[in-house]
Structure 1
Amino acid sequence: MRVAVVTESFLPRVNGVTNSVCRVLEHLERRGHEALIIAPGPGPEAYAGFPVTVVPGVGLPGYNSFVLGLPTKAVERRLREFAPDVVHLASPVALGAAGARAARKMGVPSVAVFQTDLAGFARRYGFRGTDKTIWSWLRHVHRQAARTLVPSSATYKQLDERGFPGLAMWRRGVDAERFQPSRRSEALRRELAPNGEVLVGFVGRLASEKRVELLACLADVPNVKLVVVGEGPAEKKLRSMLPDAAFLGFLDGQRLAEAYASLDVFVHTGPDETFCQAVQEAMASGLPVVAPAAGGPVDLVTPEETGLLFEPNDMDALRACVVRLAEDAELRTRWGAASRLSVEHRSWTAVGDELLRHYAEVCREHAPRSGPQLPVPAARLARVYEFGGDGQKAAAA
């Protein structure tokens, strides 16, 4: 199968969209498919052995680390040259809209992945009164796709109520080999908590929409040491608000896995997450989780079994949840073990094969019922039908 991935964000920028796209590309390579990436530049020339076409990008006002790809004519030209079987639209806004439009002109189905609460993002950055316009535009973009994949039940309900068609669930995978309790580092713990404090940590982008400043309510909790992993535009302000917290900066690879596993409690503060991969990685690392009762964490955290949910933005409730876990080591151990069990089966291999089934289904649905009414090359359809239900090439009869 030939898959064109049009993504609003890609390397070297690291965020939820980029990470998901990278895991999808790695899975396509493992399964023997062909892929093309179209992304805002600057960026790499290739990833997972697949070529990357970069288009001009512009940083958002007040948040230049987020680059918006410009929908140039190169998008359609490159897609026609590649001749994909399906177009994957990763969190489509502007560049993704161009990809969706080009796919329709070519008679190729597209699968859109809804991953960013753009309206909530805009509100956090002071763009008031934009909700209606943003939702109208996103609905227009997603209506051009054959299917919209959503990461959580909360997002599914939100989009369904707003009239988005063709919705289906597709949750994120987690690398349970990389993120696991055995990565715990006693050396790191001694460095961060020399007096045996309970390590309570946050991992994520340090930005307004993450509401990391809510952690200030934990600053004077006895025997608790705050740990913050990540970077972003709010870092300077947060360092001032949390002078006793340990800021570890941006971490990836094994250093990130070690940081997760060395914590005792994981706290997420942002209420606008469509999924929240950081929560899932913390759970794979064997941690009990405290998170808002909103968005993606509602599906991930089972209250009184793997962690606790608090009313969004309620600092008193957040503090009470953390105090309860900080004072009960046995509860932390029990819920942390349950967290690990609840997510360790969600490998990117399983999730990737589920995505391939979505691709195959929209290609079958898009095929002409009789005669060549749709401009779908017969050779392209033949390629699609070579693949079985699990996304792998079917054995020859």
Structure 2
Amino acid sequence: MRIAFILDDFYPSSGGVARSVETQLESLVALGHDVTLIAPDRHLQKPRGCRTIECPTLYIEGTSAHLSVLHFSQKRAALIDRCATFDVIHTQTDRGAMILGARLAKLQSIPHVHTFHANIAGTHQTVKSAVFGTLSYQWVINPVLTAASGRRPPRSTLPGREKETGGLAARMDWASFADLAGKVDAHTVPSPFMLELINEAAGRELNGFVVPTGYNERMKTTIDQAERTRTDDRVRFLSVGRLAKEKRLDVLIKAFITADRPDAELVIVGDGDQRNALRELAAGHPRIDFRGHLGSLEAIASELRNADVMALSSYRFDSQGLVITEAVAAGLPVMYCDDRLTVGLSPESSYLTGPDITSMAAGFRTLCDPVVRGRLAAATPALLPSLSADRMAEKYVSVYRSVIEGDNVG
């Protein structure tokens, strides 16, 4: 198949969405498909094995990558139409990329598939400015997508408060996602809870599929080749990700300090706007180590190989948690506090705590027990087959074929 991936975020290192797209792209190319990446012309590292179309983007340098918006005009879609022909459009972000994809799909009379990667509904508890994202869906993206796609599905409603406890803005976000999902031929999400909330807001079952992001094969190979060089007997808890408010690393640090285990250490990998505040919070603690941003697979694989437990503190924010799949690839048990997350997790391989400091501190203490850790780690290999990149790619191919062969293309 000739597949077009369209992405607003910078490729490949701007965050979890770009990393997911990288894994998708590499896996589909390995299966023999003809993939074209349409991505911002800034900070671009062109992937091997596929065609890349560079697209201008509206972006203020130095701001977050999620503020990048591809040019989505009819003229831009026509320019791409003249130089490439596709069988299916797959948009990966809900901004300019989705609108450009709708216009291109309409020009070529082909299906439009969209993946909802991010859970903006989970940002409101920690990032008050996220309400502007909510309003942009309501006032800008949805109306423009309606015009671009020519589709006017029934308006969605807010999901019930018992389904989404994050407040009015969070419930509005799910309603927006349901509206967007009604204007494409099919949509995918990485976790079951997202599909349930979109259908709840839509008031009906839309053409949606759960397709978790698999672990990157190059990362798995690099992890397998990495050596465990530690000789101490401390229990190393590892956190990997952006140092952002919505990741709640302040809670993780406070819980670790509260646990007060001299036989444990916490290693934090990543960078972000909360770096200084988190360092200040952990100041003087001898067993909390900030490693900063690690740019190579080898460096990240080494951290995974030398850790004992992957620790996540985000709550009601992550849509899947790519670090969970990487932990599974490394054979690490996972300590987490968000009961909606299920991909790469099981009662046999992971440890669920409450989201508060006291509960997470108890989790740190429990996982210092080598018997508990050993039991959880022994169960992680059973999860690997369901998280392979090949299986993910095959699921996407199945989605593409279902819309290409169906009669629901508008």
TM bucket by the smaller chain?
Answer: 0.7 to 0.9
Residue aligning to 1:148: 187
Aligned to 2:361: 319
- Distance between the aligned counterparts of 1:60 and 1:161, measured in 2? 36
Is the 8 Å Cα contact of residues 113 and 187 (structure 2) preserved in structure 1? yes
Q: Distance in 1 between matches of 2:81 and 2:105?
A: 8
Which of 272, 278, 281 in structure 2 is aligned with 1:238?
A: 278
One-letter code aligned to 2:344: L
Question: For the residues of structure 1 that align with 2:58 and 2:281, how far apart are their CA atoms?
Answer: 31
Counterparts of 1:162-311 in structure 2, within 5 Å, are: 162-163=201-202, 165-175=206-216, 178-179=219-220, 185-187=227-229, 189-190=230-231, 196-216=233-253, 217-219=255-257, 220-243=260-283, 244=285, 245-251=288-294, 252-271=296-315, 272-295=317-340, 297-303=341-347, 305-311=348-354
1:333 to 374, 383, 390: 374
The aligned counterpart of 2:151 is none
Q: Does the Cα contact within 8 Å between 1:86 and 1:111 map onto a contact in 2?
A: yes
Kindly state the Cα deviation for residue 316 of structure 1 after the two structures are TM-superposed: 0.9
Give 2:101's match in structure 1, choosing from 90, 95, 99: 99
Question: Where do 5+ consecutive residues of structure 1 fail to align?
Answer: 369-373, 375-397
- TM superposition outliers: structure 1 runs of 4+ over 6 Å: none
The TM-score with structure 1 as length reference comes to 0.82
Distance in structure 2 (CA, Å) of the matches to 1:351 and 1:146: 19
1:114 to 2:116 alignment: yes
CA shift, 1:234, in A, is: 1.3
Alignment size in residue pairs:
360
Helix, strand or coil: the match of 1:168?
Answer: strand
Q: Give 3-state SS (helix, strand or coil) of 2:64's partner.
A: strand
Give, in angstroms, the shift of residue 102 of structure 1: 3.1
Aligned pairs for 1:312-391 (under 5 A) are: 312=355, 314-326=356-368, 328-366=369-407
The CA distance in 2 between the partners of 1:306 and 1:117, in whole Å, is: 25
State the alpha-carbon separation in 2 of the partners of residues 210 and 126 from structure 1: 14
CA distance in 2, matches of 1:46, 1:283: 28
CA distance in 2, matches of 1:101, 1:139: 19
> Is the partner of 1:127 in helix, strand or coil?
helix
Partner amino acid for 2:307? L
C-alpha distance in structure 1 between counterparts of 2:364 and 2:226, whole Å:
20
AA in 2 matched with 1:203: V
Unaligned runs of 5+ in 2: 135-168
Q: Measured at CA, do residues 333 and 202 of structure 1 come closer, stay the same or move farther in structure 2, by a change above 3 Å? A: same
Q: 2:87 aligns with which of 85, 89, 104?
A: 85
The alignment's TM-score, normalised by the length of structure 2, stands at 0.80
Residues 233-270 of structure 1 show CA distances to partners (whole Å, capped at 9, x for unaligned) of 21121111123311122223122112112111111111
8 Å contact from structure 1 (residues 55, 72) kept in 2: no
Q: Distance in 1 between matches of 2:14 and 2:70?
A: 19
Do the aligned partners of 2:14 and 2:65 also contact (CA within 8 Å) in 1? no
RMSD: 2.6
C-alpha distance in structure 2 between counterparts of 1:177 and 1:334, whole Å: 27
